[in-house]
Amino acid sequence: MRAWLSMIVLIQALAVGAALAAPPAADPTLGPWAVDGEGNAGRIHTVVPGDTLWDISASYLGTAWVWPAVWRDNEDIADPHLILPDDRIWITAGEMRKVTRESADAMIAAGREQLERAQAETEVEAILEEATREVFSAGPRIRIAERGAMGFVSTEAVQASTSIVDSPSPRQWLADNDLVYIGQGEGEVEVGDEFTLYRDAVPVYDLGGRRKLGYHVDILGWLVVREVEGDTATAEIRMSRSEIQRGDRLIPRLAPPSEVELTFTPEAAEADIVFIPEGRAHVADGDFVYLNRGSLDGLRVGSELEVYQPGGPRTERVRGTRVTTPDRSDAALVAIEVGDHTAVAYVTGSRRPIEVGDRVRALAPRIAQH
């Protein structure tokens, strides 16, 4: 014990003398993480000229005075107390000792492997956490009945439409898998572009006919561009709902969603039902209506809506008093396509036939009951 204390005093004296005789050394750069044979994590420090145990202890352990208490002899080292440039020192929170270069390399390799394994596990955990968050944070979804035979398109889209100009087939009426030539070519379309086929475009106006909102079209099918050459392109009819002929018109393909995630947009402006497809006077569950409000009015795809009748003052005949009745909800809708100032809504439930002129508003978030 006395020999150990004497050795400490001697080393301290030498270290202090060296510190007084030489300019202060810069803080040592922390060495790489490593793992010893027992699985303990620490760092390997490579001694550089000017290093002292005081400096190393201060940099790695936070205080210069702790090193005598944590220094350990190493029987594999000829003089474990003497540090020289290029020596390796193993450092943990409770231990400092010299190790051979071979041991240091093996410990660093083990530390790198453990770190890579931990990073991989962290990445997997992060991926699983993100996937779980997406699953549990996603709102309820609703499936939409197929609406392939009709579409609501903008005035600009109709004005920019092209048409079928001819076909290699001599037949008058064309169908699935037939090739056609369309009136757009290089610089206008590319191979793989898809187009919706329609024949007639019916203008849709706001209530009172004050402004044109767009066009309703009856969809005949769709095609895909196979080859572009000069000022025309060859396309293949991929699906036809009725006979297709030369002169039928094309717009970029309308692909309504098969399902949407429901969302609340209580800040959205109230809207009117302005059009019912197929010339019908009324619609009910599973049908579609066109609205005169869109994204610039606060609507989004998935917005939950309702058709409502406003309440108002009424006379209570027995007592002759005036009372105010609440608003009445007549139908539930979901916005499935949203333009700047227009939207297509899907009727999910109705208590009466829905018609043009009915008022629509966004639902507010429901308050939990438990």
137 vs 127, which has greater pLDDT?
A: 127
The residue type of 111 is G
Q: What pLDDT does 139 receive?
A: 60
CATH T-level topology, domain 150-252: Elongation Factor Tu (Ef-tu); domain 3 (2.40.30)
Q: What pLDDT does 133 receive?
A: 53
Q: What pLDDT does 102 receive?
A: 93
Given a contact cutoff of 8 angstroms between Cβ atoms, the answer to whether 215 and 158 are in contact is yes
Residues 6+ away with beta carbon under 8 Å from 350: 283, 284, 285, 307, 330, 331, 332
Q: Find how far residue 120's CA is from the centre of its chain.
A: 23
CA gap 120, 118 in Å, rounded: 5
154 vs 164, which has greater pLDDT?
A: 164
Asked if the model's pLDDT at residue 137 lies above 50, the reply is no
In the predicted model, what is the mean pLDDT of residues 2-10? 32
Q: What pLDDT does 23 receive?
A: 37
Residue that the structure tokens 């301290």 belong to: 12
CA gap 35, 261 in Å, rounded: 49
pTM: 0.56
Q: What pLDDT does 246 receive?
A: 95
Lowest mean pLDDT among 64-78, 167-181, 332-346: 64-78
| Burial category of 46 from C-beta neighbours within 10 Å (exposed 0-12, middle 13-18, buried 19 and up) | middle
27 vs 240, which has greater pLDDT?
A: 240
Phi/psi-derived region of residue 187, left when phi > 0, alpha when psi is between -120 and 50, beta in every other case: left
CATH T-level topology, domain 262-362: Thrombin, subunit H (2.40.10)
Q: What pLDDT does 149 receive?
A: 57
Structure confidence at residue 28 as a pLDDT band (50, 70, 90): low
Structure confidence at residue 297 as a pLDDT band (50, 70, 90): very high
Q: What pLDDT does 241 receive?
A: 84
In the predicted model, what is the mean pLDDT of residues 257-285? 86
81 vs 218, which has greater pLDDT?
A: 218
β-pairing, 88-92 with 95-99?
antiparallel
Lowest mean pLDDT among 17-26, 162-171, 334-343: 17-26
Q: What pLDDT does 25 receive?
A: 41
In the predicted model, what is the mean pLDDT of residues 183-211? 91
Give me the residue spans of the domains in the chain. 2-105, 150-252, 262-362
Residue 269, H or E segment? none
In the predicted model, what is the mean pLDDT of residues 26-46? 83
Q: pLDDT per residue over 51-97, tens digit each?
A: 888 888 888 888 877 788 788 877 767 677 788 999 999 999 888 99
The residue type of 194 is E
Asked if the model's pLDDT at residue 157 lies above 90, the reply is no
102 vs 364, which has greater pLDDT?
A: 102
Please provide the average confidence, as pLDDT, over all residues in the chain. Answer: 82
Lowest mean pLDDT among 21-30, 228-237, 264-273: 21-30
- Hey, what long-range contacts does 143-146 have (CB within 8 A, 24 or more apart)? 143/258, 143/259, 144/256, 144/257, 144/258, 144/259, 144/260, 144/334, 144/336, 144/346, 145/286, 145/346
136 vs 123, which has greater pLDDT?
A: 123
In the predicted model, what is the mean pLDDT of residues 92-104? 91
In the predicted model, what is the mean pLDDT of residues 351-360? 93
Q: What pLDDT does 256 receive?
A: 67
What phi and psi, each to the nearest 5 degrees, are found at residue 114?
Answer: -65, -40
Q: What pLDDT does 16 receive?
A: 32
Q: What pLDDT does 19 receive?
A: 34
